[in-house]
Structure 1
Amino acid sequence: MIDLQHLVRPNIRKLSSPFQQGDGQPESPRRIALDANENPYNRPLNRYPSGLQHDLKARLAKLKGVGEKEIFSGNGSTEIIDLCYRIFCQPQTDNAVAIEPTCRLYGHFAAVNDVEYRPVPLSHDFQLDADRLLKACDRHTKLVWLCSPNTPTGNTLEVKEIEKVARTFQGMVIVDEAYTEFSKQPSFRQRLEEFPNMIVLNTFSKAWGGAAIRLGVAYAQEAVIRLFDMIRPSYNLNLLTQEQAVELLRHRYDIEDWTRILLLERNRMMKAFESLACCERVYPSSANFFLARMKDARSVYNYLAEKGIRVHDCSHEPLCEDCLRITIGSKAENAEILGILRYYNPAE
């Protein structure tokens, strides 16, 4: 069992309650609202949104099979990643360990919070070696970052290796499942009782098609969620985001249709890329993108950019030399990029 209080930064432990404009009191109907210096005109945008997000969390809890108190909603996963450092890592003292290559936000917010970041390379088939990762940890390691399915590689990490890290490491293990809807691997969200030191991240930006509303979600045991609520900014989730998220949840069967189509397109695109003269290898994927090793990734990237098509050049990332990450678009978009690359001639 982990000592959660020992992991939390001393200044955070001293906080007695969240600093929330009115959120410290139970929400109740306000017949006349004269407590928050709001403008009485321009309804409904004149009022601050619910800080507790009851409607959104109730719908998420029912759909995801967790308790409402095991959910934290953030202004994108970026806010949640930042808050993890703020809660658990003492600047210039503590450190975080992560796989490499992976989502660059983990390292970015480590730097923002003045926390040492220790990347541990994956194997050549992009798999996690739990023993190797754990060797990089010491008594000042507070966070371990694991992204599965991973980006930019697209593959899922071995469940047994994730389990070994979670059971051995005495800090917090964050499993980022941003692409989980595209994977057959069961979510660790269903195993929170088994892993009190685990935080599972999800997002509305990928399968849910809600990147513009900026909504990230963290699932963890109630004691961990209380820490997020303790330090989150007041009203961190605006009214429009909450309303749009609820609307998406009402139409979740549409999202299932989108996901099914994207998976079919992913398989078609991967097979088609394998036949391109400019492509050397396509790696397995459990996400809404795939990684392809090209004969000259930068040249292909520039060629596509000239045609108005943007892909992600991963050549600068470890183990991804000469690789491009291709997001699955609509059928028409996918057909266009394939047609353009079939005529690609590096000699021109």
Structure 2
Amino acid sequence: MDINELVRDNIKKLRPYSTARDEFKGQASVFLDANENSYGSPLPANYNRYPDPLQLDLKDAISKIKGVPIENTFLGNGSDEAIDLLFRAFCNPGKDNVIILPPTYGMYEVSANINDVEIRKVNLLPNYQLDLEKIAESIDKNTKIIFICSPNNPTGNSINRTDIETILANFNGIVVIDEAYINYAKQKTFIQELTEYVNLVILQTFSKAWGLAALRLGMAFSSTKVIDVLNKIKPPYNINQATQDLAFEALKNIAQVNEWIKESVAERAQLSAALSALNIVKKVYPSDANFILVEVTEATKIYDTLVEEGIIVRDRSKVTLCEGCLRITVGTKEENEKLLTVLRNF
């Protein structure tokens, strides 16, 4: 597959913005090129200089953990930036289309609407797996991207690996696998397949297992041809220096992150069992994420009761195939017990 054939013509011709730091090579001690404040910044750490536009030191640290070369890594202002850039790189407004698989993460549809790209929805099967036959029927020459969330949000399940491989092997467009919750899953990441599929894009994030949601830092891994396009069209300094510094420090604490993952998975099992025992709960869906989809008797009333008690969950009762369901994040043991106490008294 030639990725260049998928890129929009105007993006092929685009001359990207050249930052001041792009225009010289080697070391320097006096920077008088970018009109920064040369005196410093009114903070304990100096942030008066523009950050590395390609975040090379941070990507190098990530590569040591993920096993993905720097040139196959893109960092965005959350995974949402990578999603938006994929639309802008590969989808012609008013002409091309993408396929999403409801129920799924809502930003795929939002980004499509912002970029004036047709959305083709192929609902998951009742067991929340892919309907390969209908996906195949929905593809035409203008279908540029298929978004697959695995583990899926809001259902929590992993998508069958062989089904994803079937799409990768047969679709001549970009296949995005959103692995925001992969750290909590038994299923392996698709990172090892990057060398096999030039059209594969894997999204991961620092917002979930890494506990850095406030930093807004997402990762995209793909072939160099796709990464080069994303780097070409991104804002020049899309990841600020404070975020780079804090993420770099966080990567040194992987043992703590792994311990939190183990605790969260254990709490997920205990919370699922406790919820299943409640008479207001119709079904607790199996989860490979750090949340649980729960079908309840009176979703709106239960949601409102929880809000009154200062407990916020996500009401998914009006979402396709999630009728009557609440999505509940796995909290700490104390938070989960408070939730269960309110539900038992409902």
With the length of structure 2 as denominator, give the TM-score of the two structures: 0.97
Correspondence for 1:30: 28
Deviations 1:275-325 (A, max 9, x none): 111110000000000100001111110010111111001111110000000
Correspondence for 1:313: 315
**Structure 1 residue 27 displacement after superposition:** 5.7
Q: Give secondary structure in 2 for the equivalent of 1:100.
A: coil
- Please give the alpha-carbon distance, in whole angstroms, between the structure 1 residues aligned to 2:25 and 2:37: 19
Correspondence for 2:258: 256
For residue 29 of structure 1, what is the amino acid of its counterpart? Q
Q: Give secondary structure in 1 for the equivalent of 2:20.
A: coil
2:63 to 61, 64, 68: 61
Q: Is the 8 A contact 1:100 1:121 kept in 2?
A: yes
- Distance change in 2, residues 1:253/1:208 (3 Å): same
Deviations 1:34-77 (A, max 9, x none): 00000012242111111121111001111101111000000001
Q: Is the 8 A contact 2:122 2:131 kept in 1?
A: no
**Structure 1 residue 238 displacement after superposition:** 0.2
For residue 38 of structure 1, what is the amino acid of its counterpart? E
For residue 292 of structure 2, what is the amino acid of its counterpart? F
Correspondence for 1:228: 230
Deviations 1:146-172 (A, max 9, x none): 000000000000001100111111000
- Please give the alpha-carbon distance, in whole angstroms, between the structure 2 residues aligned to 1:165 and 1:13: 26
Correspondence for 2:108: 106
Deviations 1:115-167 (A, max 9, x none): 00111100111011222212111110000000000000000000011001111
- Please give the alpha-carbon distance, in whole angstroms, between the structure 2 residues aligned to 1:320 and 1:150: 12
Correspondence for 1:41: 39
- Please give the alpha-carbon distance, in whole angstroms, between the structure 2 residues aligned to 1:340 and 1:29: 61
Deviations 1:88-112 (A, max 9, x none): 0000000000111000000000000
Q: Is the 8 A contact 1:199 1:220 kept in 2?
A: yes
For residue 205 of structure 2, what is the amino acid of its counterpart? T
Deviations 1:249-270 (A, max 9, x none): 0101110001000000000000
Q: Is the 8 A contact 2:151 2:157 kept in 1?
A: yes
Correspondence for 2:175: 173
Taking the TM superposition and a 5 Å limit, the aligned residue runs for 1:142-153 are 142-153=144-155
For residue 58 of structure 2, what is the amino acid of its counterpart? L
1:271 to 270, 273, 295: 273
For residue 19 of structure 1, what is the amino acid of its counterpart? Y
Correspondence for 1:80: 82
- Distance change in 2, residues 1:20/1:95 (3 Å): same
**Identity of paired residues, percent?**
43
Correspondence for 1:195: 197
**Structure 1 residue 26 displacement after superposition:** 5.6
**Structure 1 residue 20 displacement after superposition:** 3.5
Deviations 1:188-236 (A, max 9, x none): 1111011111000000000000000000000001111000000000100
Q: Give secondary structure in 2 for the equivalent of 1:73.
A: strand
Alignment coverage as a number of residue pairs: 342
Q: Is the 8 A contact 2:143 2:173 kept in 1?
A: yes
For residue 198 of structure 1, what is the amino acid of its counterpart? L
- Please give the alpha-carbon distance, in whole angstroms, between the structure 1 residues aligned to 2:94 and 2:209: 37
Q: Give secondary structure in 2 for the equivalent of 1:251.
A: helix
In the alignment, structure 1 residue 245 sits paired with structure 2 residue 239: no
Correspondence for 2:344: 342
Q: Is the 8 A contact 2:61 2:248 kept in 1?
A: yes
**Structure 1 residue 23 displacement after superposition:** 4.5
- Please give the alpha-carbon distance, in whole angstroms, between the structure 2 residues aligned to 1:287 and 1:8: 33
**Structure 1 residue 15 displacement after superposition:** 2.0
Correspondence for 2:7: 8
- Please give the alpha-carbon distance, in whole angstroms, between the structure 1 residues aligned to 2:68 and 2:290: 25
**Structure 1 residue 28 displacement after superposition:** 3.9
Q: Is the 8 A contact 1:23 1:52 kept in 2?
A: no
Q: Is the 8 A contact 2:283 2:294 kept in 1?
A: yes
**Structure 1 residue 30 displacement after superposition:** 2.5
For residue 7 of structure 2, what is the amino acid of its counterpart? V
Deviations 1:6-45 (A, max 9, x none): 10001001124x3142253466433111000000122421
